[in-house]
């Protein structure tokens, strides 16, 4: 991928980078750079276009720092469906909003849009790019947790990601579900469906 709609990859990366610098906090901006780097690394391992992975990884959280009110307003104005879990946990909408922004502002392909849309709770129809962005988001080098148990899980996903992206995805979803249930929070159906699809496909850890 040398160009996307007649814009060079380098030019588009610079454009997105500048937009993120102006809209995200320093912490979120550094995270986005980390996901771009990790997505490129994983794309190289699994043989997909590294430029596509870099662009998608860099832009994945472009809608993350909207307020709840802004997210709901954007969703309404752009005909984005808000499901029952997102009505309670509005922050989840940043994935759908980010995909929509990248479609309209940067002309991202459907594959790239879906990778952004699915990066938070997963989707049973995830392709390889989507799996890479999901895992890169959770394993970029800036990630670090206060609890030793969480850091041990993080290291496990990082190790698995270099060997089998499906195992890494399943392990991360399992860990996330356990955490969410322990916190007595709503579990998104897409996470369950994604996990079940992986298990039905014979993925095991």
Residue 205 lies in a domain: no
- With beta carbons less than 8 A apart as the criterion, state whether 56 and 133 touch: yes
**Cα angle, residue 184 at apex, residues 178 and 186 outer, rounded to 5°:** 85
Number of domains in the chain: 1
pLDDT digits (tens, 9 = 90+) for 169-186: 999 999 999 999 999 999
For residue 69, give its domain range.
3-200
In a domain, 118, yes or no: yes
User: Tokens at residue 173, please?
Assistant: 């979803």
Residue 41 inside a domain? The answer is yes
pLDDT-flagged residues of the chain (< 50): none
Q: What is the reported pLDDT for 145?
A: 78
pLDDT of residue 3: 67
Give the CATH number for residue 35.
1.10.3210.10
93 found inside a domain: yes
**24-35 residue pLDDT tens:** 999 999 999 999
- Summarised one tens digit per residue, pLDDT across range 4-45 is 767 899 999 999 999 999 999 999 999 999 999 999 999 999
């Amino acid at each position: 991928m040398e160009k996307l709609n007649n814009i060079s990859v380098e030019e588009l990366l610079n454009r997105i980078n500048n937009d993120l610098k102006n809209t995200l906090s320093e912490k979120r901006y550094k995270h986005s750079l980390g996901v771009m780097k990790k997505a490129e690394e994983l794309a190289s391992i699994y043989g997909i276009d590294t430029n596509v992975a870099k662009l998608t990884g860099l832009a994945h959280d472009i809608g993350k720092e909207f307020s709840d009110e802004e997210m709901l307003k954007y969703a309404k104005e752009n005909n984005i469906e808000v499901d029952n879990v997102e009505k309670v946990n509005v922050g989840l909408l940043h994935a759908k909003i980010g995909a929509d922004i990248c479609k309209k502002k940067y002309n991202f392909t459907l594959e790239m849009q879906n990778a952004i849309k699915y990066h938070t709770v997963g989707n049973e129809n995830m392709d390889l790019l989507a799996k890479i962005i999901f895992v890169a988001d959770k394993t970029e080098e800036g990630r670090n947790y206060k609890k030793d148990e969480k850091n041990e899980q993080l290291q496990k996903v990082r190790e698995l990601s270099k060997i089998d992206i499906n195992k890494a995805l399943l392990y991360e979803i399992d860990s996330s579900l356990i955490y969410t249930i322990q916190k007595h929070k709503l579990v998104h159906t897409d996470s369950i469906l994604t996990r079940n699809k992986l298990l039905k496909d014979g993925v095991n850890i």
